[in-house]
């Protein structure tokens, strides 16, 4: 008959519970709460001050102009952005117009002339009284100005 060896108590200098799970759970839980609070704060800030986000996006655009963008195009974009920014501060820009601006801006690469012209048009439409809602209602959904062609043509097989 075999017997199991008796369990000996821990030495006097060591704590009885040597695991670190409780401390890790409390530390990670506190960090998770802090991260969630920061994300909620950032979301509230962006909703209250959308101009801060568009300012940051415009700085990125200014740094990435392609060589085909002329000084006149840049000046037109800056003027359209100034109109858009003042309309944004006056709370005259609708949510869907702001979303159109965000989807028009492509970051991470050079900004070519066609994209600058499109962004200028989107800024002007969003800053217009009533935004794109008035443009679409007045013409039955048709655009009042001819739209620019797509940046790249799709090859036909």
Whether 46 shows a pLDDT value over 80: the answer reads no
pLDDT one-digit tens code per residue, 98-128? 778 777 777 668 888 888 898 899 888 888 8
Mean pLDDT of 145-157: 57
Stronger pLDDT, 13 or 92, i.e. the higher one: 92
C-alpha–C-alpha distance, residues 74 and 64, integer Å:
12
C-alpha–C-alpha distance, residues 116 and 121, integer Å:
9
- Nearest CA among 148, 107, 105, 150 for reference residue 126: 105
Whether 94 shows a pLDDT value over 60: the answer reads yes
Element (H, E) at 47: helix 21-48
pTM for this one? 0.56
Residue 146 to residues 64, 91, 118, Cα–Cα distance (Å): 26, 28, 11
Residue 81 to residues 19, 59, 69, 119, 127, Cα–Cα distance (Å): 59, 12, 16, 9, 9
The pLDDT of residue 79: 92
Residue with tokens 């963008």: 69
With vertex at residue 9, the alpha carbon angle to CA 6 and CA 13, rounded to the nearest 5 degrees, is 155
How many Cβ atoms are within 10 Å of 145's Cβ, its own excluded? 9
Mean pLDDT of 52-56: 78
């Amino acid at each position: 008959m075999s017997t199991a060896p008796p369990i000996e108590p821990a030495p006097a200098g060591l704590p009885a519970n040597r695991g670190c799970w409780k401390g890790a759970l409390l530390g990670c839980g506190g960090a998770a709460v802090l991260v969630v609070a920061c994300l909620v704060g950032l979301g509230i800030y962006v909703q209250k001050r959308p101009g801060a986000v568009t300012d940051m996006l415009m700085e990125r655009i200014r740094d990435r102009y392609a060589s085909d963008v002329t000084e006149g195009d840049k000046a037109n974009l800056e003027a359209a952005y100034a109109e858009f920014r003042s309309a944004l501060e006056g709370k005259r820009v609708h949510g869907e117009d702001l979303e159109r601006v965000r989807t028009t801006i492509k970051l991470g690469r050079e900004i070519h002339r066609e994209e600058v012209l499109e962004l200028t048009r989107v800024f002007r439409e969003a800053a217009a009284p009533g935004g794109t809602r008035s443009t679409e209602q007045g013409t039955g959904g048709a655009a009042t100005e001819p739209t620019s062609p797509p940046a790249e043509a799709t090859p036909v097989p």
